[in-house]
Structure 1
Amino acid sequence: MKQDTTRKYFLPYGFKLMFSYFLFVLIPVIVVGWAAYDSSINSIREQTRENLQGTLGQIRDNIQYRSEGEKRISDQIYFDNKIQGLLRYFENGWIGYELMKEYLMPTLSNAVHMSNIPVLLKVYIDNKVIPEIYNDQNPQFDPLRFVDYEILHMDRLKNEAWFKNLKLPEESYRGTEFVWQQVENDEEFHNISLIRRLMDINQKKQIGLTRTIVRLSDLIDAVDYRKIGESSKIFLLDGEGRTIKASGSNSPKSFENEVGISDHLMISESLPGLNWKLVALIPNSLLEKSAKKVRNLTILVCLISSFILFIIGMLVSNYFSKRVRKIVTSLNAFKEGDFHKRLFFSGNDEFTQIADAFNKMGENTDELIKEVYLANILKKEAELESLQAQINPHFLYNTLSSISRLAKFGEIDKLHEMVMGLAKFYRLTLNDGRLIISVNKELEQVKTYIDIQQIKYRDRLHVGYEFQTDVFGFDTVKLILQPFVENALEHALFSHSINLRITACLVGAAIEFKIIDDGIGMNQQTIDQIFTRDGIHVGYGIRNVDERIKLQYGPNYGVQLFSRLGIGTCVRITIPAVKEAK
């Protein structure tokens, strides 16, 4: 190569490096310092927000726990089949009275006294034969002055506005059709009711309604601003945005008066089932408490770093350069497998020589890798073809033996069917010399093989198929199912007949085949020996299929065996759901 002499004179490398260093040394320090400060502040704010959100979530969970505790009272009635039967077929006279006295009334009483807070349970029923049991119904008095239960007829609710407008969830017979709502005089006495259908699960129809009345304060006493932080405010809002409870150091009245405040962070949590929402207002001063310390510390670190970098740069500037970093970057690209990376330096110094040598090395390495890659592909195809060739003669030998027996006994029609089946099987197997076939053809191939064996085994062989159509569009290594069916017929059949079930389905990004039989089965020791290359001879076909799959798709795919003596065997074959390029 002719040497370029046009750039004989150039500035010394050390001079250029020192000039650029003095020009840019402070810029990285300032940028890094600002980024570190901004990142620290954002991290502190985010962590504080997450902590506050978690605290608000605990308040929400406390309210939900209380509400779930009261729901369990109605669960005692909702899921009691005996109560459902009693309410459905209540008999007048002594028998009905005894059942009501000995079971219904004690059950309702026990349900009420399960709660840790005062409750009033009202059970509305359609069966008018059952007598009503109730306390004073005067709406001017707080119903919770009685901690008890009441049995009332549904007729009492027909003219009640709240009952006409009641909207319960539609998930009948699941135990989730309930709603928390303030009805009748609940709002006046600061109560709330859990209203729920009473269902006859056997008859699948509604037979009544339960209403569990509790004090609102017993459910929401966890709403306390001190759990969030001083100067904070917390509000509990209903579904229409009205304030149910407000808590704060300055005794806030309602959330509406706080809307529009800009110096507070607002976080919220919804309460499923209650249709309420918790809203907390946290002053920004609480979030910025540590910001000043972080800012001062960042400035100090930046100043010290700038001074240290300036001194170090003057002492070792000859050892650092942008070209060195470029070389390191290119070497890292080589390490990661990118051998197309090239170095191009201007000038006529040592770095130009390094770049020329580096680029030449990259070209040589890339060519060598291509040669090795091509050789590995050819080797892989040769190994697949070798393993494939080991399967076909074994099957052909067994089938020809069956044909010989049919000819010996003069069963010409069955012999003809078996020969035609064999021809179809090998037409699918040959596949124009390709090792990869569609999943649809592989399934058709194994069905053809079973049709051949059906001639031999007749009524002793029963086969079921379960194929998802989604798998038909993908490809697979050919002849991976037939060896297992053949193995089951040769080694698993020990009684008068055998049942096989063959399935194919998509599982995530993979295709899963299963061959299940109810044959003699095998123990774990035999399974372990099958997958050992020097193991028992009966596992040859299984190892062959497993090796072909792993060779084609990698070690994450292959064959798994599950078996128990006297019960049967399940073979699971997994391949990736891929479509091979033609």
Structure 2
Amino acid sequence: MLRTIQNMSASIRGKPVKLALKIPFLYFLVILLSVAFSYVVFNQISTHSAQNNMNEASLQTLTSIQTNVDFMVENVNNYSKMIFSDENLQNLLRQGNVYANLPTQSKVSLYLYNLMQAVPMIDSVYIFDNSGNLFSIGTQQSPTFTRANVQDAQWYSQVVSEQGKYILKLNGSGAFTESAEQNFVSFIRLIRDIDDTSTLGVLVINIKGEAFVKAYANLPNPSALPFAILDERNQIIAAHATDEVPFALFEQLLASDDLEIKPALQQTNAGFLPLESGSQSYTASFLTGGSNKWTFLSITPHNVVRTVNKSLVLLALALLIINGAVFFVTSFMISRSIIQPIHRLLRAMTKSKSGRFQKVPATRSSYEFQQLFNGYNNMIEQIDQLLKRIIEEQHTIRKAELNTLQAQIKPHFLYNTLDSITSLALSGLNDQVCDMLEALGGYYRASVSKGRDIITVGEEIEMVRNYLKIQKARYRDIFEAVYDVDESCCAIRIPKLVLQPLVENSLYHGIRSYGTKGTIRIRARRSGGMLTISVADDGMGMSEEEVARIIGSERDGQIQSFGLWGTLERLRIFYDDRSHFKIDSEPGKGTAITLFIPIGDGDEA
């Protein structure tokens, strides 16, 4: 591992790293990043899923608690019906005063006491008559008769408006002086005459607060869920606290004006709400509604969710690490099968640096390497052939360049032309001197052509015209020049000094050697994609053996025809063997050399 890090450090400093180390190292980085990313993503997803599951479970538990509480309240409602349906209580209240008949009072007291003994959740019972009297009895107090005007109670108008339906008030809204430390819920309803439904008084049944906490005692794992029951004013009726969520936290969250829990309770009947208290995060699940308009609230700390989710995340991380290790080991095996054939190829390529081109036996381990080795072997073979061809062409190019240079600037041609100009000047033929100088300048301007190696056919013809114009001044009665050039050919680009060597050969070796006046014909045509240029004379001519001998002697470096073979070879190399030529010659009838040059898309000016 240390060596791998050192090699990667060398790569950072600009040195290449072996592929055998680079591939496993990159695999390791990919695996490491993949495991880390997968762990983060899976942790987020699983945490979110666990939070949702816990929220749903909390909501289901709250629903069960709400159902149990509603059932308990409905039982109290049934007990209330039993109480105000009691004949003794009805008779006593019909008299308008609960003090009217002591024996009847005793019977009512005994009945209520026995009911509270049978129903432990009832803490006390209060009966108000219409005369401002109060009769009360409780589990911790004896029957008591006091003066109390029920109309002074805060809830009186509400219970009257309900027309016999019950209402629930936390701690009786302060109408009673209970000494119990815990909260209680007052079940309040009108007492009506069972005969004519007239109002006889008000019945109050105080339910112990702890009875509501016990409403979820029969649920699975009842001690795990911290919850609170809130009245319509979001006051805590009863609460079940845990070590993670103490009772004080419920009071703190409900008392704070900065939290959104109160608005959320008013906007929807059920939902979830994230909360913050200090450095701890919580999720509140709430359920509200029903005839009582009570709210059932549970608070779950996020660390509980993380604890539940921790084992699952660790298991997933272990699986990711195991899979990553297997993948990493496999990467070594895969990289080895790839690197070995590459090393064989690199060894062969290293030997080629010293000029030893060695083929590599093709491997059959994979189709790609087999094609690579076959391609390399074909390349080696082609390079070997190309080197031989380049060496041969270099010799040809050197000869052709030498011939071109000789054709461009021939000292004897320049000296002879200047001698002719001098003679004309001494003879006083100034007009001819000017024509000769103009032709000589035009010839050399075209020959140099601003350093260009490629000129148009029109420029090449103009250079030949100037050349023959000079030669005409020197040899007045030896030759005539005839030009038959198609205008469409003048814009075609060709290598410089293609025609001049051929025209020179026709003049010196064809006509002048023959000793009689002759004609040089220069013709240019285009046909399809080929340019056809011919230079013909009616001079001495040659036999086939002489043509072969002249070309062969120039190929061997013995210049006799002033650049014929060099010109042909220049065209062959320039056009990649796509150009060709034809020589028609017959002794005593002259010689015609025809060039066939391909025309490309960019060969026209």
In the superposition, the TM-score normalised over structure 2's length comes to: 0.36
Structure with greater Cα Rg:
2
